[in-house]
């Protein structure tokens, strides 16, 4: 058997095992959190430390080796990011998955593409494989935050109406959690649970703000905390904040509409070189073969790919307008 094929097969098997182990961990994380809370209550500790979201995402003891692959500060940072993306992977599993995909891309590309160009392609494949989990996590986090922001005005309206009807803050939050869907219902439910078992309202609301990663929710939490400090009509304050949130959503929609044509232009410009290359190959087969068979051609192709990626990133940066 070819040694290179054996190495490639082993790398594929290793990556599959790592992925299976990582997703197995997602099935038991929730049980571990519940056990941790129950142990705290039975030991007489009624207040949960909510200073960092990582305190609510303890890993089972059986996976301490993987958990210790990441430093404490980085582990807490990754735990926050994974929680904001609705991923139940532990930070150690996430890092292991990234390196596993990078190793898989490296070995498979070296096996499929021979020569100097194969090593360059393998390096690119390793970088792509390493960053795929991060891209996936970022997309999930952005979608979750976008959905939470869209739910926020309705949640504020429900809370405000409940407060005007004479309910307390905890009851108002519970009313919004019952009537709305994930993710805001889940976050409000966790906040209510933390208050019920002894955490102060300020600590629970600050933990909610940190978990969500939403600037709009930060504004809401700040408004509530200021009202609890200086006083005022919280129902009217939340109505004003809800109106502000609706204006922000409307402005975001207008910006998305105005920049849609420019985004399409960027996509067309990015695909244009590929389309022209395919067209040349159809009209005159072999005309562009030196680009793939000569050293200078491969260098030019690599340079073109780098410039293409830089152009796409610049266009995305220009069209990313914060409101």
The DSSP code sequence of 210-224 is HHH--HHHHHHHHHH
Are 155 and 174 in contact by the 8 Å Cβ rule? The answer is no
Do 316 and 259 touch, CB atoms closer than 8 A?
no
Is 22's pLDDT higher than 80?
Answer: no
Q: Give 52's DSSP letter.
A: S
CB 206 within 8 A of CB 50: yes
Cα–Cα distance, 120 to 118 (Å, whole number): 5
The contacts of residue 34 (CB under 8 Å, 6+ apart) are none
Dist CA 224 CA 204 (whole Å): 12
3 or 181: which carries more pLDDT confidence?
A: 181
Under 8 Å between Cβ of 19 and 97: yes
Average of per-residue pLDDT across 193-219:
88
Residue 48, pLDDT > 50, answer: no
pLDDT at residue number 274 = 85
Question: What is the overall mean pLDDT for the chain?
Answer: 78
Predicted confidence at residue 69, as pLDDT, reads 57
Q: Where are the domains of the chain?
A: 3-141, 147-250, 255-319
Q: What percentage of the chain exceeds 70 in pLDDT?
A: 77
pLDDT at 86: 85
**Cβ neighbours of residue 80 under 8 Å, at least 6 residues apart?**
52, 53, 54, 210, 211, 213
Give the span between the Cα atoms of 106 and 119, in whole angstroms. 8
Does the pLDDT of residue 115 top 80, yes or no? no
Note whether 323 and 255 are within 8 A (CB). Answer: yes
Q: What is the pLDDT of residue 52?
A: 40
Task: Answer yes or no: is pLDDT of 39 > 50.
Answer: no
Give 137's contacts (C-beta < 8 A, 6+ positions apart).
Answer: 81, 82, 85, 87, 94
Question: Residue 120: what pLDDT?
Answer: 77
In Å, what is the CA distance from 120 to each residue of 7, 152, 281, 305?
19, 47, 24, 12
With cut-offs at 50, 70 and 90, classify the pLDDT of residue 84: confident
Please, what is the Cα angle at 62 between 58 and 64, to 5 degrees?
A: 60
Mean pLDDT of 1-14: 54
Give the CA distances from residue 222 to residues 49, 102, 147, 216, 238, in Å, rounded to whole numbers and listed in that order.
20, 42, 20, 10, 11
Q: Which stretch of 31-40, 256-265, 311-320 has the lowest confidence by average pLDDT?
A: 31-40
Q: What is the pLDDT of residues 143-202, one digit of tens each?
A: 999 899 899 999 999 999 999 988 888 899 999 999 999 899 999 999 999 998 888 888
**Considering Cα of 184, then 189, then 192, then 194, what sign does the dihedral take?**
negative
Categorize the per-residue pLDDT at 35 as very low, low, confident or very high, splitting at 50, 70 and 90: very low
**Is it the case that residue 58 has pLDDT exceeding 70?**
no
Query: Which of the residue ranges 51-60, 116-125, 202-211 would you say has the lowest mean pLDDT?
Result: 51-60
Residue 142, phi then psi, degrees to nearest 5: -65, -40
Contacts of residue 203, defined as CB under 8 A and 6 or more positions apart, other chains included, come to 50, 51, 194
Fold of 147-250: Receptor-associated Protein (1.20.81)
Residue 319 has pLDDT above 60, yes or no: yes
Q: What integer pLDDT is reported at residue 61 of this predicted model? A: 46
pLDDT of the residue at 45: 38
Tokens of 80: 């926050």
Cis peptide before 183 (omega within 30 of 0): yes
What is the distance in angstroms between the CA of the first residue and the CA of the last residue of the chain? Answer: 59
Is 124's pLDDT higher than 80? yes
Nearest 5°: CA angle at 172, between 45 and 81?
Answer: 60
pLDDT 10s digits, 222-274: 989 998 888 888 888 999 989 988 888 888 888 888 888 888 888 888 888 88
Indicate left, alpha or beta for 44 from its phi (over 0: left) and psi (-120 to 50: alpha): left
């Amino acid at each position: 058997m070819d040694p290179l094929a054996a190495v490639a097969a082993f790398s594929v098997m290793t990556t599959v095992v790592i992925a299976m182990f990582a997703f197995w961990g997602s099935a038991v994380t929730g049980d571990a959190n519940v056990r941790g809370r129950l142990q705290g209550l039975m030991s007489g500790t009624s207040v949960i430390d909510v200073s960092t979201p990582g305190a609510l995402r303890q890993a089972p003891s059986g996976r301490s080796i993987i958990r210790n692959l990441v430093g404490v500060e980085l582990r807490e940072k990754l735990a926050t990011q994974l929680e904001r993306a609705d991923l139940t992977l532990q930070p150690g599993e996430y890092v292991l998955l990234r390196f596993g995909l990078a190793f898989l891309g490296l070995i498979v590309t070296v096996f499929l593409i021979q020569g100097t160009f194969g090593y360059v392609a393998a390096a690119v494949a390793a970088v792509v494989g390493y960053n795929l989990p991060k891209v996936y996590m970022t997309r999930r986090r952005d979608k979750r935050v976008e959905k939470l922001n869209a739910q926020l005005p309705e949640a504020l309206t429900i809370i405000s109406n409940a407060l005007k009807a004479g309910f307390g803050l905890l009851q108002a939050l519970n009313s919004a959690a019952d009537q709305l869907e994930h993710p805001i219902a889940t976050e409000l439910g966790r906040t209510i649970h933390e208050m019920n078992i002894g955490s102060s309202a300020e600590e629970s609301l600050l933990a909610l703000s940190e978990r969500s990663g939403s600037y709009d929710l930060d504004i809401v939490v700040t408004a509530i905390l200021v009202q609890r400090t200086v006083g005022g009509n919280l129902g009217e304050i939340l109505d004003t904040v809800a109106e502000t949130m609706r204006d922000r959503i409307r402005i975001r929609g207008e910006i998305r509409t105005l920049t849609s044509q420019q985004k399409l232009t960027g996509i067309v410009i990015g695909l244009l070189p590929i389309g022209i290359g395919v067209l040349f190959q159809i009209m005159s087969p072999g005309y562009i073969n030196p680009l793939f068979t000569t050293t200078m051609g491969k260098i030019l192709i690599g340079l073109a790919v780098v410039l293409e990626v830089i152009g796409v990133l610049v266009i995305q940066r220009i069209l990313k307008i914060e409101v």
